[in-house]
Amino acid sequence: MSILFHVGLMLLCGLLAGRLAKLVGLPNVTGYLVAGLVIGPYVLGILNNETTNEINVISEMALGFIALSIGAEFELSYFREVGKASVIIAILEGLFAIVFVAAALLVLGFDPSLSVILGAIASATAPAATIMVIRQYRAHGPVTKTLLNVVALDDAVALIAFGFAVAVAKSLNGNSDNVLMTILDPFITLILSLVIGAVSAVLLLIPLRFFKKESNRLCAVVGFVFITLAIADYAGASSLLACMAMGAVFVNISHEASAVFKITDNVTPPIFMLFFVLSGARLDITLIPAIGILGTVYVIMRVIGKFFGAWLGAVICKTPEAVRKYLGWTLVPQAGVAIGLTLVADQVVPEYAGRIRAVILCATLIYELTGPVISKLALKKAGEIQEG
C-alpha cells in the first residue's frame, strides 16, 4: 500500500482510539499510542518498520510545532505576573528528576550516555491530564494556581536540559581528549540554538508585514518552522531549542503573536495525532521484558525527583504548606515532549534507541493511567476539590 493509505489509516485509527480512551476517562494521547501499537509492526503488522521510517518526517514536524508552542509561553509579562516562586519550583522539580534518575542508573552500572539521556527526558511533564482534572472538579486554591504556572514552564526546562544532555552524551561517545571543549560543548549548543531561533523569529516579521490573510500567514509560519529545524540540524544545534527560542523571541517582539500562533492550531491537530500514533507503532514490545530494572528505576526515581524538587522549591519560596506537601504529586503525568525526545535520542545514542523508546512509552502509559487519579487525590487532600 502507498504511504498515503497508511497515513490515512493512522489518522482514522487515532481518531477512533482517542474517542474510546476518552469514554473510559483516559487522555486522548493514550488512545493514540495504543492505536499505533496495535496496527504497528509488533502486533498486527499493518504498518511495518520500513513504512514507519519513511514517514518519520512527521515526527520532526510535530516536534518543531511542540517546541514553538512551548516558546510562545515565554512572554515577559507572564513572568512578571507569576513571580519567582513558580519559576524556581519549575527549575528545581525538573532538575531533581534528572539528577535522581541519572544518578540511580549510574550507581546501578548503566552506561553514562544512556543514564544522562534518560535523566534529561525524565524532567518533562505532560500538563494536559492534570489540567483536565482541575477543570472537571473545578479545583481552586494555592496548589492549583502554582501547578498551572509550573506546568507552563516545565517543558521549557526539559528542552533546555535535554539540549545539554545531548551535548554531554555526544562528548562521552566521542571520547574527546579536549576537556575544555567537552565542558563548553553544551553551552555552545545552547547559544547556537538560541541564535538560530532568534534570527528566525526576526525574519518571520518580514512576510507577516506583507501578508495579512490567515492562509498566507500559516504558510509563512510553517515554512519558517521547517527551515529552522533544518538549519539547526545542519549546524549541529538543537532543533527543538531553536524552535522554542523562535517562539519565545517572536511572542515578545510582535504585537500580533497571539493571533499568529492561533493560526497554527489549524494545522497541528492531525500532525500531533500522527506523531503519537507513529510513536506507538515504533514501540518494540519484544523489548519490554528486557527493560525491567531500567524501566522500574526510571518510573520510581522520576516521581521521587519531581516530588523532592517541588517540595524544595516550595520551601525556598516559602509557599503555603499545602503547596509543599501536595504539588509534587500533581506532576506525575508524562507524554508528548518526552516521547518526542526519544526520537532525538535515536540519533544521539542509536545503540540504545529501542530500549529508551520502550522505557519512555511504557512509562507514559503508566503515568497517564495513574497520573490523573494521583492528581485528583492530591488536590482533594489539599482541600481544593470540594465534596460533591
State pLDDT tens for residues 55-87. Answer: 878 878 887 887 887 778 777 776 666 667 878
Say if residue 4's pLDDT is above 80. Answer: yes
* Whether pLDDT at 184 is above 80: no
Q: Does residue 108 register a pLDDT over 80?
A: yes
Sequence-separated (6 or more) residues with CB below 8 Å from residue 7:
55, 58, 274
CA atoms of 3 and 7, how far apart (whole Å): 6
pLDDT for 11 equals 92
| 337, 152 contact by CB (below 8 A) | no
- State the Cα–Cα distance between residues 215 and 170, nearest whole angstrom: 40
pLDDT of residue 202: 93
Q: Between 331 and 388, where is the model more confident?
A: 331
- List, for residues 203-242, the tens digit of each pLDDT value: 999 998 888 888 888 899 999 999 999 998 888 777 878 8
- For residue 283, what are the CA distances in angstroms to 101, 244, 300, 305, 356? 22, 27, 21, 26, 10
Predicted confidence at residue 224, as pLDDT, reads 93
Domains of the chain: 3-381 (1.20.1530.20)
Higher-scoring residue by pLDDT: 85, 309: 309
What pTM was computed for the model?
A: 0.70
